[in-house]
Amino acid sequence: MTGNAPNNEQWAELEMAARLAARQAYVPYSKFAVGAAILDGAGKIHIGCNVENASYGLTNCAERTAVYAARANHGIQDVLAVCIYTPTPTPTPPCGACRQVLNEFGPAMRVRAICDGEDLIDTTLEVLLPGAFGPKNLKNAS
Ligand code: THU
Protein backbone atom coordinates (compact mmCIF):
# COMPACT_ATOMS: atom_id res chain seq x y z
CA MET A 1 0.00 0.00 0.00
CA THR A 2 1.40 3.38 -0.96
CA GLY A 3 0.34 6.99 -0.45
CA ASN A 4 -0.45 8.97 2.67
CA ALA A 5 -3.31 7.94 4.90
CA PRO A 6 -5.36 10.72 6.51
CA ASN A 7 -4.76 11.25 10.22
CA ASN A 8 -7.62 10.98 12.73
CA GLU A 9 -8.41 14.68 12.52
CA GLN A 10 -8.61 14.54 8.73
CA TRP A 11 -10.88 11.48 8.90
CA ALA A 12 -13.15 13.33 11.29
CA GLU A 13 -13.32 16.27 8.87
CA LEU A 14 -13.97 13.97 5.93
CA GLU A 15 -16.77 12.24 7.80
CA MET A 16 -18.39 15.53 8.73
CA ALA A 17 -18.07 16.83 5.16
CA ALA A 18 -19.60 13.66 3.71
CA ARG A 19 -22.54 13.90 6.11
CA LEU A 20 -23.15 17.53 5.14
CA ALA A 21 -22.81 16.74 1.44
CA ALA A 22 -25.56 14.13 1.62
CA ARG A 23 -27.98 16.92 2.54
CA GLN A 24 -27.48 18.39 -0.96
CA ALA A 25 -28.31 15.11 -2.67
CA TYR A 26 -30.89 15.42 -5.45
CA VAL A 27 -32.68 12.09 -5.19
CA PRO A 28 -36.33 12.44 -6.23
CA TYR A 29 -36.34 8.96 -7.81
CA SER A 30 -34.37 6.64 -5.54
CA LYS A 31 -34.68 8.71 -2.33
CA PHE A 32 -31.24 7.27 -1.59
CA ALA A 33 -29.05 10.19 -0.54
CA VAL A 34 -25.27 9.82 -0.74
CA GLY A 35 -22.59 12.26 0.35
CA ALA A 36 -18.90 11.95 -0.51
CA ALA A 37 -15.84 13.85 0.64
CA ILE A 38 -12.38 13.49 -0.83
CA LEU A 39 -9.02 14.60 0.56
CA ASP A 40 -6.63 15.92 -2.08
CA GLY A 41 -2.83 15.76 -2.02
CA ALA A 42 -2.66 19.35 -0.77
CA GLY A 43 -4.81 18.51 2.26
CA LYS A 44 -8.00 20.14 0.99
CA ILE A 45 -11.41 18.50 1.26
CA HIS A 46 -13.94 18.52 -1.59
CA ILE A 47 -17.49 17.27 -1.50
CA GLY A 48 -20.03 15.74 -3.81
CA CYS A 49 -23.54 14.35 -3.66
CA ASN A 50 -25.56 12.20 -5.99
CA VAL A 51 -27.56 14.14 -8.57
CA GLU A 52 -30.27 12.08 -10.22
CA ASN A 53 -31.92 12.67 -13.57
CA ALA A 54 -35.37 11.96 -14.98
CA SER A 55 -33.66 9.77 -17.57
CA TYR A 56 -32.33 7.69 -14.64
CA GLY A 57 -29.23 6.64 -16.61
CA LEU A 58 -27.66 10.08 -16.42
CA THR A 59 -27.62 10.06 -12.65
CA ASN A 60 -24.26 11.07 -11.21
CA CYS A 61 -23.04 9.39 -8.05
CA ALA A 62 -21.72 11.36 -5.09
CA GLU A 63 -18.14 10.13 -5.46
CA ARG A 64 -17.91 11.12 -9.12
CA THR A 65 -19.51 14.49 -8.40
CA ALA A 66 -16.81 15.11 -5.78
CA VAL A 67 -13.96 14.20 -8.12
CA TYR A 68 -15.28 16.22 -11.05
CA ALA A 69 -16.07 19.27 -8.93
CA ALA A 70 -12.65 19.14 -7.26
CA ARG A 71 -10.88 18.94 -10.59
CA ALA A 72 -13.02 21.63 -12.24
CA ASN A 73 -12.88 24.06 -9.33
CA HIS A 74 -9.45 23.40 -7.87
CA GLY A 75 -7.44 21.44 -10.45
CA ILE A 76 -6.72 18.60 -8.04
CA GLN A 77 -3.98 16.16 -9.06
CA ASP A 78 -4.20 13.49 -6.37
CA VAL A 79 -6.83 12.03 -4.09
CA LEU A 80 -5.57 10.46 -0.85
CA ALA A 81 -8.89 9.35 0.60
CA VAL A 82 -12.63 9.26 0.10
CA CYS A 83 -15.36 9.06 2.71
CA ILE A 84 -18.88 8.07 1.70
CA TYR A 85 -21.88 8.65 3.93
CA THR A 86 -25.38 7.26 3.55
CA PRO A 87 -28.19 7.78 6.06
CA THR A 88 -28.74 4.03 6.22
CA PRO A 89 -28.24 1.31 8.85
CA THR A 90 -25.33 -0.21 6.91
CA PRO A 91 -22.50 1.50 4.97
CA THR A 92 -22.55 1.80 1.17
CA PRO A 93 -19.45 0.93 -0.87
CA PRO A 94 -18.66 2.92 -4.04
CA CYS A 95 -20.19 1.51 -7.24
CA GLY A 96 -17.99 0.13 -9.99
CA ALA A 97 -18.10 3.27 -12.13
CA CYS A 98 -17.04 5.41 -9.16
CA ARG A 99 -14.20 3.05 -8.32
CA GLN A 100 -12.84 3.56 -11.83
CA VAL A 101 -13.17 7.36 -11.65
CA LEU A 102 -11.58 7.48 -8.19
CA ASN A 103 -8.71 5.36 -9.49
CA GLU A 104 -7.78 8.06 -12.00
CA PHE A 105 -6.56 10.40 -9.25
CA GLY A 106 -5.67 8.01 -6.45
CA PRO A 107 -5.05 4.33 -7.11
CA ALA A 108 -3.68 3.97 -3.56
CA MET A 109 -6.40 5.96 -1.84
CA ARG A 110 -8.08 4.98 1.40
CA VAL A 111 -11.82 4.35 1.24
CA ARG A 112 -14.14 4.68 4.19
CA ALA A 113 -17.93 4.35 4.17
CA ILE A 114 -19.99 5.43 7.15
CA CYS A 115 -23.68 5.35 7.92
CA ASP A 116 -26.15 5.84 10.74
CA GLY A 117 -25.37 2.42 12.17
CA GLU A 118 -22.24 1.09 13.85
CA ASP A 119 -20.88 -0.65 10.75
CA LEU A 120 -17.97 0.87 8.88
CA ILE A 121 -16.17 0.01 5.68
CA ASP A 122 -12.49 0.85 5.99
CA THR A 123 -10.42 -0.30 3.05
CA THR A 124 -8.39 0.82 0.06
CA LEU A 125 -9.18 1.30 -3.60
CA GLU A 126 -6.60 -1.37 -4.42
CA VAL A 127 -8.76 -3.86 -2.55
CA LEU A 128 -12.00 -2.65 -4.15
CA LEU A 129 -10.61 -2.46 -7.70
CA PRO A 130 -7.78 -4.97 -8.03
CA GLY A 131 -5.77 -4.97 -11.24
CA ALA A 132 -7.27 -1.63 -12.23
CA PHE A 133 -6.85 -0.08 -15.65
CA GLY A 134 -5.59 3.45 -15.22
CA PRO A 135 -3.27 6.20 -16.40
CA LYS A 136 -0.24 3.93 -15.94
CA ASN A 137 -1.48 1.70 -18.74
CA LEU A 138 -1.40 4.54 -21.26
CA LYS A 139 2.19 5.56 -20.51
CA ASN A 140 3.73 3.42 -23.26
CA ALA A 141 1.41 4.32 -26.11
CA SER A 142 3.21 5.41 -29.27
N1 THU B 1 -25.07 6.14 -5.65
C2 THU B 1 -24.01 6.94 -5.31
O3 THU B 1 -24.15 8.17 -5.21
N4 THU B 1 -22.81 6.35 -5.11
C5 THU B 1 -22.58 5.01 -5.20
O6 THU B 1 -21.44 4.59 -5.19
C7 THU B 1 -23.72 4.10 -5.29
C8 THU B 1 -24.98 4.71 -5.80
C9 THU B 1 -26.37 6.77 -5.90
C10 THU B 1 -26.85 6.74 -7.32
C11 THU B 1 -28.33 6.88 -7.16
O12 THU B 1 -28.65 8.25 -7.07
C13 THU B 1 -28.63 6.21 -5.82
O14 THU B 1 -27.37 6.12 -5.15
C15 THU B 1 -29.24 4.85 -5.93
O16 THU B 1 -28.48 4.02 -6.73
Ligand 1 atom nearest to 61, measured from its CA: 3
Q: Which of 84, 75, 91 is nearest to 109 (CA)?
A: 84
SS3 11: helix
pLDDT of residue 3: 63
> Per residue in 89-108, pLDDT tens?
999 999 999 999 999 999 99
CB under 6 Å to ligand 1: residues? 27, 30, 32, 34, 50, 52, 59, 61-63, 92, 94-95, 98
What does 79-133 look like in DSSP terms, one character per residue?
EEEEEEE-SSSS--PPPHHHHHHHHHH-TT-EEEEE-SSS--EEEEHHHHSTT--
User: In this structure, are residues 73 and 57 in contact, taking their beta carbons and an 8 Å threshold?
Assistant: no
How much is the pTM? 0.96
SS3 26: strand
> Per residue in 75-87, pLDDT tens?
999 999 999 999 9
Considering the candidates 63, 104, 118, 126, report the single residue annotated as catalytic: 63
